[in-house]
């Protein structure tokens, strides 16, 4: 039976990522594990846009959303008696998740099966598929 000492959950504000948080919190409580949560501001979405105030405004909106998502996760975990360490990153979501998992020596990554909309998959590909395909860390994909 596997034992998880370090758990990483990826959050994006979607309903399915909230379900991933619930599952990660349950696992952390069960194994008395450290729980880390990551929110990634996808900077790749802006790479083809000219650098101007509009890009800066869009980035700040996503950053604010990330702060709110991570704060909500802290509140949820606190209510469940689990300590959570939060991480805000920018870049390619899949790569940042894998990098953090390796840095924190995570035993498992927990991700939602899809992002906020099916359009996300068409635009940036599926983060969960990327993580499952490229990570050396065991990955659990939570469905709605």
Domain count, the chain: 1
Q: What's the confidence (pLDDT) of residue 126?
A: 87
Question: Is residue 18 situated within a structural domain?
Answer: no
Is 72 part of a structural domain of the chain? yes
Any domain includes 96: yes
Q: Whole-model pTM?
A: 0.89
Range(s) of the domain holding residue 58: 28-142
Secondary-structure breakdown of the chain: helix, strand, coil percentages, each rounded to the nearest 5: 50, 25, 25
69 contacts 12 by C-beta, under 8 angstroms: yes
CATH number at residue 127: 3.40.50.620
Confirm whether 107 is domain-assigned. yes
Could you read off the pLDDT tens digit of each residue along the chain, which spans 144 residues?
A: 678 999 999 999 999 999 999 999 999 999 999 999 999 998 766 555 566 677 778 888 889 999 999 999 999 999 999 999 999 999 999 999 999 999 999 999 999 987 665 544 444 458 999 999 999 999 999 988
Contacts of 91 (CB under 8 A, 6+ apart): 40, 42, 43, 44
């Amino acid at each position: 039976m596997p034992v998880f000492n370090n758990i990483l959950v990826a959050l994006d504000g979607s309903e399915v990522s909230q379900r991933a948080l619930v599952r990660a919190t349950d696992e952390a409580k069960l194994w008395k594990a450290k729980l880390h949560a990551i929110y990634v501001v996808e900077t790749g979405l802006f790479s083809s846009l000219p650098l101007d105030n509009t890009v800066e405004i869009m980035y700040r909106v996503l950053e604010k959303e990330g702060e709110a998502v991570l704060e909500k996760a802290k509140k949820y975990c606190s209510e469940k008696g689990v300590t959570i360490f939060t991480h805000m990153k920018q870049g390619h979501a899949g790569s940042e998740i894998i990098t953090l998992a390796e840095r924190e020596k995570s035993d498992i990554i927990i991700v939602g099966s899809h992002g906020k909309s099916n359009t996300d998959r068409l635009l940036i590909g599926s983060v969960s598929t990327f993580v499952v395909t490229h990570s050396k860390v065991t990955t659990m994909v939570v469905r709605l």
